[in-house]
Amino acid sequence: MKDVGPNKGRRASDWQGRASDLQILDDMAHIIECIALTYTGEAKSELSGLIARLEGDPKIAASFAAELAKLNEAMSLFRSDKYPHATSVLVSVNRTLWARALGKG
């Protein structure tokens, strides 16, 4: 496979400092997958867990304040059974997080 794109020439150690960013992206992928499979209960539970983990670390909470606000909005929408709108908010946050991880945000 060719070494191209934004990660060209990066070593695995370059990603270690960004492990929390990558874990958040992985969590978001799992939540969106649950929604796609209509596992809404699991999606709500996972989203609640992600919010709790982010809010539980003041440094991360400060760094992801805007995203946390949107995640809480999505949770509120889920609790109101407004799944399409909640999903749209989550996908928007996911795109923002990816842009940030890729240095575009």
Q: Where are the domains of the chain?
A: 18-101
Instruction: Name the nearest CA neighbour of 39 among 73, 102, 87, 101.
Output: 87
Task: Confirm if 54 and 61 have CB atoms less than 8 A apart.
Answer: yes
What's the average model confidence in pLDDT over 62-69? Answer: 93
How many separate helices (H) and strands (E) can be counted in the chain?
A: 6, 0
User: In angstroms, what CA-CA distances link 98 with 1, 36, 42, 62?
Assistant: 22, 19, 23, 18
**25-63 tens-digit pLDDT:** 999 999 999 999 999 999 999 999 999 999 999 988 998
pLDDT tens digit sequence for 7-24? 454 444 444 456 777 899
